[in-house]
């Protein structure tokens, strides 16, 4: 067994290296989180419109089901990549929940 030179070992409390790539990825992650979080609020007018009019005929059940599935599988995919629940996973779960609420309202007013 060969030993690694001491200079190759990174101390456990070393400061992160801010390369252009790591900065880009950090910004991209926060942009994804921000815009996906804004989507949570953007669902509210649609949910309110369906509820207040009691008419869901202008809303496609197929579309909302596909968006629900897309958000739910995105959350699962993100979790499986890192094996942890990070902010992107929670935001995707939130978006899936809002899509599911729309599906429930559409179905509820059509039955």
Rounded to an integer, what distance in angstroms lies between the CA atom of residue 80 and that of residue 58? 36
Is residue 74 in a domain? Answer: yes
Q: Is the pLDDT of residue 23 over 80?
A: yes
Identify whether 102 is part of a domain: yes
Specify the number of domains making up the chain: 1
**18 is a domain residue:** no
Cβ 70 vs Cβ 109: under 8 Å? no
> What is the per-residue pLDDT across 67-107, written as a single tens digit (0 to 9) for each?
999 999 999 999 999 999 988 899 999 999 999 999 999 99
């Amino acid at each position: 067994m060969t030993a690694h030179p001491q200079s190759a070992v990174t101390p456990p409390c070393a400061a992160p290296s801010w390369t252009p790539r790591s900065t880009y990825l950090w910004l991209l992650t926060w942009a994804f989180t921000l815009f996906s979080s804004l989507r949570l609020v953007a669902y509210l007018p649609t949910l309110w419109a369906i509820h207040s009019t009691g008419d869901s005929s202008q809303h496609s059940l197929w579309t909302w089901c596909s968006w629900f599935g897309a958000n739910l599988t995105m959350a699962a995919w993100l979790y499986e990549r890192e094996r942890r629940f990070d902010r992107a996973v929670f935001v995707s779960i939130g978006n899936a929940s809002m899509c599911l609420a729309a599906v429930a309202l559409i179905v509820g007013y059509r039955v």
